[in-house]
Each structure stands twice: as structure tokens, then as C-alpha cells.
A and B are shown apart, each in its own frame.
Chain A
Amino acid sequence: MTATALGAPAERREGRQKVSGGARYAAEYTLPGRAHAWPVPATVAHGRVTGVDTAAALALPGVLAVLTPGDAPRLATPEDATLAVLQSPDVPHRGWPVALAVAETPEAARAAARAVRVDYAGAPHDVTLTEGHPDAYAPEEVSSGAAHVEHGDPEAAFAAAEVRVDAVYRVPPLHNHPMEPHASTAHWDGDRLTVYTSSQGGTTVRSVLAQLFELDEDRITVEAEHVGGGFGSKGTPRPDVVLAALAARHTGRPVTLAYPRRDLPAVVGHRAPTVQRLRLGADRDGRLTAVLHEVTTHTSHVKEFVEQAAVVSRVMYATPALRSAHHVVPLDVPSPSWMRAPGEAPGMYALESAVDELAHALGTDPVDLRVRNEPGSEPGTGRPFSSRHLVECLREGARRFGWAGRDPRPRSRREGPLLIGTGVAAATYPVQVAPSTATAQALPDGTFTIRLNAADIGTGARTVLAQVAADALGVPLDRVRTEVGRSELPPAPLAGGSSGTASWGWAVHEACAELAARLAAHTGPPPAEGVEVRADTTGKADAESPYARHAFGAHFAETAVDTVTGEVRVRRLLGIFAAGRILNARTGRSQFTGGMTMGLGMALTEHSSLDPAFGDFTESDLAAYHVPAHADVPDIEADWIEEDDPHLNPMGSKGIGEIGIVGTAAAIGNAVHHATGVRFRELPLTPDRILPALSAEE
């Protein structure tokens, strides 16, 4: 019974600590003499700090210091300009930190931050994204490659198409809002820096701090044992860790900065809003002849980040003519960044809504339409797929959901004041993997220890890596320990881009396979100090693949739309995924379900906006920005089909952290169309949008 650890529903190894309250997160390291910091966010959207009056703040009891752009310790210029905090009087957007109060207690720090008086020279600002904005430009690149991909003659092909859909979809700014706010505790001992930080990747935190504070990496320790979610917003270090380290250096005390919830959206990144024009041309048989996906989004003046929503059109459907293009407008807004499936989530909302519109225009079943346009190779590159089981996901989902008996006519099901509809959408997410190192150690007592600086942000990394190790070693799972979340462990890449388990698991697998071979050659028990093997997958994990590698999935939703209140409720949500081998059935299912829940929020409840007058996010905290609550979420079913793909990594796995969100919003939107006969093209589907459209229809 040793070769079956992979895939088993093993219980989370840190579970007991989490349910008993024993798991410590970054703000919970109560070091002796610890002080607390509180940021002062800029109250103008553009301009310059002309003066900071700290006298009243410093006079309050318990206040240790107020750091300002004028007197904070200097940093080397960071590569990520959002980390150059308290280094210049310039204010690039509202909420940018312009001072930091440090005090004996959180209460005193908060009072001090309130008492700081900041004077500004304001400048005009613009925070409003429009489709034809004069400052829009075509970026060179998006994170997955070229910003613009085109083949065939898409304009001509679209003009000549027998059936056409031409529609614009809008997704508002969205906030990650992990339940643990960004927090860091920093402590200097001479020129040694220790930070406890809430991060998806401690190895990067260390290298960035080393660069900023001009220290050797071996002078820095970064710990992130438990991380309360991130969803992209903790993918790279954010200002909290830099500010905590500055404050600790300035005061000579350990300092914790737990960023106030309301101030987070301005400093940790957000999903940038997108305006997406989709043009689909098809022949009468429903074969696509043109796909044009054009995205306009915003970035900040601090750095360029492009929400790469159009890349999905390079992956999904066969077409002789394709345009997938991005435009970006730099505005006086906080810097956008990664949020769960950056690009894919809003991009597939638009594309899969347009495909549904096309199915409706053709009078074709939307599942069949997708099957009919299944490509033989990746449309954007021509590369063969390493594996692609979208059709199987659609068919299995349709069977489980009971799609077959569906009356395709919109507004065909009514239950009193409720209109009932069902919808389908596809999902895709790329396979990403990065080099990692890991060590595997055999001990004389027959147990093994795996070490690497992976981050367990709630994915169950400790558990699944132990499963990978047990499998490669051919030993029972309970003989394997995993140590993660500390920078003195072998360096490992971040938990992001759904790449963590693949990247770390590959190195763990290599180390364990090698260790097993060494132990087989060795007679007798290992020596007292054990036998240790180190693996480094550089050159393998990052080798160019000749294949297009993506996970796929199919989402099905049933919604009820209340014609009296305009409220949309999801009754059922089903996701079927093809994502290689699922390494832990229990934690894997939780990741899919979690992604789908966030997708439900994107469809129905989550909405942010930039106030044109003040330049601020109008919905910043959890009272105004509506994360789905228990009552919003029905029985969500997530499952997968077995997929055997030899072109991935030794475990045969694709990433699963993000694909769950990808098709959810479109499936729900398509169900709402089926229920009501009205096509809504702007998220979220809140009563203020639904009700007027329904009354117009009556």
C-alpha cells in the first residue's frame, strides 16, 4: 500500500492547528518589545506632499515615531515601483502611504496616524476608464507574451460572416480581499533582518528586501508559516513588509504592521476593469470564421500592469481569422495586479458570453456549438495540445447537470415571480511551472523530511508535497514530514499562477527519487545524521515545451431571477475540470469550489468603482465590497475527469487554484439570459441593473 499516496484525500497536515487557533499568522508574532505601525494614506489622487506635521501625533501617549517621506530610512530603487514607499513626496494615487505612525499599541498607532497633518500640492487627476480614452496605447507585452496576436484577415472575415455577434462586455475593478489582511512583523538585530509576513512567496520577499535594504540575502530571514489567503495579492512583496522593516529599523523595535482592511485596495493591487469588445463571425453551421477580442483596461502611473483578458481567445476555438489585442490607459489609480486568473477570468466572461450569444443567434445548443469549434491545435500558436479534454468536460457536465431536457427558449420557465434559467460556459487556464529546489532527507528511524520554501496559502501544499514524496519514495504517507514557509529552507518559487504544486512537487519528486535510489544502493539503516539529497529543477521545469499546455473545464449554472426584487440567486453550480492528475482529491475539490465561489461573487455581488471626484475606490472595505456570504452560495459541485498527460511534470498535474473562477461568471450570466431573455453585458448582475431591464421587457 505505498504507491497510492498521490490522489488520496489526505487530511491537511496543519488542520489541527487551524481549527484549534494555534496556527500563527504574520501579525501574531508577539515579540518582546513589539510596537505597532499604522499607515497614513494620501487623501489626494495626484500631487505632492508639501509638508507633514507630526507634532500632535508625537505628543500622544505611547507614540514612538512618525516616519515621513522626508525622514524615513532610504531604500535602493526597487524594481517594483509600488514598493518605493516613503521615499519621495510624490503622490501617484489616492491611498498611497504618505506617513507611518509607530506606537506601543495598535490603539496609540491608530490615534497617531489620525493626528498626522499632511499638506499637499494637488494636481488634476483622471481615474475614469473609457473605451476611446485619448491616452490609451497598445502595450508591447502582457504577462504571457505578445499583447497583440493576429492571423488571417479578421476584419474582412467578420464583415463577410453569415452570422455575427458584436458586443461589448464590462467587468469592474475587483478586489482580492483575502481574509487575512496584508501584515508583516519585522525585527532587526544589528544588520540582520527577520520578517514574518503574509506572502505567497517568501523566497522573493527575501530577495526584494535584500535589494531594497542593500543586504546580503543571508542576513535576512523570511517566515510565512501560515498565510490567510492571497489570490494573487500577496504574490510578490507588497508595501506592508517594506513599511514594517523601515519602521523597525527607524525605531529599533520589532514592529507589526497589519494593514487596515479599508486601506488595502489602494496598496495591494486589484483586478483592473476591462471593457471588452467581442466580434464573432460564423457560418450557418456554427463554424467560427472570425474571432476578434479587443480589450481596453487601465494601469497606474506607477507601473504598467495589463489585465490580459484577450489571451483566452488564442486558446479556445478554431478560427481562420483571429485578433486578440489589448489597449491600456495609464490613470491616477492604484496599481492593478494579479487577482485569481488575471486575464482569464474577465476574458472568459466576455468570450463565453459572446459564444452563448452566437448559439442563440444560430439557434444551436451552446454545448454543441463549443464542440463544433474544438480546435485541432492551439489557435494562437499552432502548437499541439499536450492534452485537451474540454469536450469531455462539457459532455460529462451536461450529463450530470441534466442539460439534455433543456428548453432552449429564453423565459420558458417560471415559478411564481421567479424566472428560472440554466447556462453553460467553458473554462481554461494555462499550465505554468517554475524551477525549484528541494531537499529530501532519510533518517535512521525510517522517516523522511522534505524541505523547501514553499508557501501554504490554504492550498494544502504541505500535505500534497508529502504525498508526492511518499509516492516517489515508495513509503507510507505518515513517514514523511514537510517543512515549508521559511527562507532558510531550499529556495522555491511562489504560490501563484496555479504553478506552486507543479513547481515544488517536481523538485520534491526529483529529490525523493534520487534519495530512493541511494537508499536502495546502501545497506543497513542510514547514518545518524541521515542521508540528504538536494534537487534543483532549473533547466527542466523551465524548458520550452513543444506543446500548448492548458487545463480546461466546463461550468453549468441554474439561476432564479426574482421579477419583483431583481435579485439573482444561483441555485446550482457544477464544474467539471480536466487538469491532469488531481494530487489530493480533498484539497483539490476545495480549491475548485473556492474558485467557483469567487466566480459567483464576480457574477453577482462583487463591484468596485473609482470615484471620479475623489479618485478613491468607492467600495473598499467588506461592508461596501460584497464578497459572497454563506447565504449566497448554494451546493456547489466540483469534480474532474481523469486526464493522463505525459508532457507536464513527473506527477502529471496541471494547476487547479484558478480555473474554478474562470467560467463561472459567464455560466451564471448565460443562465440569467436564459431565464429572462435579457442579455446583460456588465458585471455584477445586481438588482439595480436587472430590475429596470426586466420592467422594460414586461
Chain B
Amino acid sequence: MTSAHQPGHHSEVHLRVNGKPVTLDVDHRRVLLDLLREDLDLTGSKKGCDHGQCGACTVLVDGRRLNSCLLLAVTLDGSEVTTVEGLGGDGEEPHPLQRAFLDRDAFQCGYCTPGQLCSAVGMLAEAAAGHPSHVTDPAAPSGSPVALDRAEIRERLSGNLCRCGAYPRIVEAVEDVIE
């Protein structure tokens, strides 16, 4: 048996994950998703495709939503990562969006759910910061917050697939936290 560890193929990275500092010696091939799941046992972030096609692995990196299966961990030194486990912060109470998902039955099997939640949280911040989407009125003033109607929510969450077809309920849950 040979060790997985080969000099020159690993580097040390420092992250903050859900508010806690983490230092790891990572395989250069390791993506953030596997770092979370394998090294930290934070298995809330899901692997649906490993290729940036489904959104199940979505997490927040420095506040932006990203597919963690496409991020080489070694490139993230100094980043702040929030996963579904950290959305609610330190308290016992779930994030309002997590509560809304429960109220609306916005999932069935639950496998896409962590990605939907992180993606929606990131998306709300993007809209508040005035980022337009494909369906935003081109005449809307640039840089001011974008009002999120259903078409906007759907467009902006389209990177997160749900094979159980919970989409209509997810949109309602997102609307609940906007109101």
C-alpha cells in the first residue's frame, strides 16, 4: 500500500468554514466540495454531478454562491466559506429560508436542497446589489436593487436542478423571505 501523500502535490490552505478557522494540507486535485465532505465531514453540501451541471454543491464563498465541485481547494486560501450547515449562524434557529422550505414543502428527497438554499441566499444578495439577470428589464436603473418577481427568481435559480420537481414550492419559499 502506498500513501496518498506525495510531496509536491499537496499544499497548506487556511479557510474559515462556517465561522471556524480550518488549516489543511490538501491534495492539489481536491475540490472544495470534497474538502468539505471528506476532510471536514460536512456532508450537507451534495455531489450531484461533480461537473458544475446541477448546483447541488452550491456554497457561499466570501458571500458569493459558487459550485464547490468546480473550485480547487488550494486556490481558496484565506476564503470564508458558508455551507448549509452554517446558514443559520450559531443559534439553534434555522435561517428564515430554511424555515420557509419546511413551511412550503419545498423539497422531497432533499438532495438538491442544501444547494437550493445556499444558491437562494446568494441570489438574494446579488439582486439586492443590483445585479441584473437575463429577464431583468434592460431599462431598469443599473446598480439599484432588482425587485424579484417569479420570473426573476426562476431565472436566477436555474442553476440548481431538482429532479423531484419541487420548483413551484421553492419559488414560494423564496418569496416568503423576500416579503
Q: Is the CB of B167 within 8 A of A630?
A: yes
Once the chains are docked, how many angstroms separate the CA of A631 from the CA of B166? 13
Q: Is the CB of B94 within 8 A of A590?
A: no
Q: Is the CB of A633 within 8 A of B101?
A: no
Once the chains are docked, how many angstroms separate the CA of A631 from the CA of B34? 29
Chain A contact patch, size range: 35 or more
Once the chains are docked, how many angstroms separate the CA of A633 from the CA of B154? 8
* B117 nearest CB across to chain A (Å): 7
* A655 nearest CB across to chain B (Å): 15
Segment at the interface with B among A74-82, A329-337, A400-408, A456-464: A456-464
Q: Is the CB of A590 within 8 A of B166?
A: yes
Give residues of chain A (442-486) contacting chain B, Cβ–Cβ below 8 Å: 457-460
Q: Is the CB of B164 within 8 A of A594?
A: yes
In the complex, chain A residues whose CB is within 8 Å of the CB of B3: 61-62, 104
* A459 nearest CB across to chain B (Å): 7
Name 20 A/B residue pairs within 8 A (Cβ), A-sorted. Answer: A12-B102, A12-B105, A15-B102, A18-B107, A19-B101, A20-B94, A21-B85, A22-B44, A62-B2, A178-B163, A179-B54, A180-B48, A258-B47, A261-B54, A460-B108, A589-B105, A590-B164, A622-B51, A630-B153, A631-B155
* A418 nearest CB across to chain B (Å): 15
Q: Does B50 contact A (CB under 8 A)?
A: yes
Q: Is the CB of A261 within 8 A of B163?
A: no
Q: If the complex has contacts A21-B43, A181-B47, are A226 and B110 also in contact, measured as CB distance less than 8 A?
A: yes
In the complex, chain A residues whose CB is within 8 Å of the CB of B68: none
* B93 nearest CB across to chain A (Å): 11
Closest 9 CB pairs of A and B: A21-B44, A597-B165, A62-B4, A228-B111, A458-B109, A18-B110, A458-B108, A594-B165, A21-B84
Contacts A21-B83, A178-B111, A181-B47 known; list 12 others, CB within 8 Å: A20-B94, A61-B6, A107-B30, A231-B163, A458-B109, A590-B108, A594-B108, A597-B167, A627-B163, A628-B167, A630-B153, A631-B155
Most buried by B among A18, A19, A598: A19
Closest to A12 in B: B105
Q: Does B139 contact A (CB under 8 A)?
A: no
Q: Is the CB of B4 within 8 A of A593?
A: no
In the complex, chain A residues whose CB is within 8 Å of the CB of B85: 20-22
Once the chains are docked, how many angstroms separate the CA of A229 from the CA of B166? 12
Closest to B98 in A: A19
Q: Is the CB of B158 within 8 A of A631?
A: yes
Once the chains are docked, how many angstroms separate the CA of A106 from the CA of B69? 13
Once the chains are docked, how many angstroms separate the CA of A460 from the CA of B170? 17
Q: Does B179 contact A (CB under 8 A)?
A: no
Q: If the complex has contacts A61-B2, A105-B38, are A20 and B44 also in contact, measured as CB distance less than 8 A?
A: yes
Once the chains are docked, how many angstroms separate the CA of A460 from the CA of B109? 8
Q: If the complex has contacts A19-B101, A19-B102, A28-B43, are A180 and B109 also in contact, measured as CB distance less than 8 A?
A: yes
Once the chains are docked, how many angstroms separate the CA of A457 from the CA of B113? 14
Give residues of chain A (635-674) contacting chain B, Cβ–Cβ below 8 Å: 635-636
* A28 nearest CB across to chain B (Å): 4
Q: Is the CB of A636 within 8 A of B168?
A: yes
Q: Is the CB of B53 within 8 A of A228?
A: no
Q: If the complex has contacts A179-B112, A226-B110, are A595 and B165 also in contact, measured as CB distance less than 8 A?
A: yes
Q: Does A23 contact B (CB under 8 A)?
A: yes
Q: Is the CB of B38 within 8 A of A622?
A: no
Q: Does A14 contact B (CB under 8 A)?
A: yes
In the complex, chain B residues whose CB is within 8 Å of the CB of A24: 43
Q: If the complex has contacts A106-B38, A107-B29, A261-B49, are A229 and B157 also in contact, measured as CB distance less than 8 A?
A: no
Q: Does A123 contact B (CB under 8 A)?
A: no
Q: Does B67 contact A (CB under 8 A)?
A: no
In the complex, chain A residues whose CB is within 8 Å of the CB of B108: 229, 458-460, 587, 590-591, 594
Give me the interface of B with A, judged by CB distance under 8 Å.
Answer: 1-6, 9, 27, 29-30, 34, 37-38, 41-51, 53-54, 56, 83-85, 88, 94, 98, 101-103, 105, 107-114, 117, 150, 153-155, 157-171
Q: Is the CB of B44 within 8 A of A181?
A: no
* B105 nearest CB across to chain A (Å): 5
Q: Is the CB of A593 within 8 A of B165?
A: yes
In the complex, chain A residues whose CB is within 8 Å of the CB of B9: 61
Closest to B157 in A: A630
Contact with B along A567-606 (1 / 0, CB 8 A): 0000000000000000000110111011111100000000
In the complex, chain A residues whose CB is within 8 Å of the CB of B43: 21, 24-25, 28, 30
In the complex, chain A residues whose CB is within 8 Å of the CB of B162: 179, 630
Most buried by B among A106, A108, A586, A623: A106
Contact with B along A680-697 (1 / 0, CB 8 A): 000000000000000000
In the complex, chain A residues whose CB is within 8 Å of the CB of B54: 179, 261, 622
Q: Is the CB of A227 within 8 A of B94?
A: no
Once the chains are docked, how many angstroms separate the CA of A596 from the CA of B166? 11
Once the chains are docked, how many angstroms separate the CA of A20 from the CA of B47? 16
In the complex, chain A residues whose CB is within 8 Å of the CB of B30: 105, 107
Closest to A589 in B: B105
Give residues of chain A (214-269) contacting chain B, Cβ–Cβ below 8 Å: 226-229, 231, 258, 260-262
Once the chains are docked, how many angstroms separate the CA of A260 from the CA of B51? 10
Give residues of chain A (10-52) contacting chain B, Cβ–Cβ below 8 Å: 11-12, 14-25, 27-28, 30
Q: Is the CB of A108 within 8 A of B4?
A: yes
Most buried by B among A28, A258, A595: A28
Q: Does A310 contact B (CB under 8 A)?
A: no
Q: Is the CB of A228 within 8 A of B168?
A: no
Q: Is the CB of A16 within 8 A of B168?
A: no
In the complex, chain B residues whose CB is within 8 Å of the CB of A91: none
Q: Is the CB of A30 within 8 A of B38?
A: yes
Once the chains are docked, how many angstroms separate the CA of A23 from the CA of B98? 14
* B174 nearest CB across to chain A (Å): 10
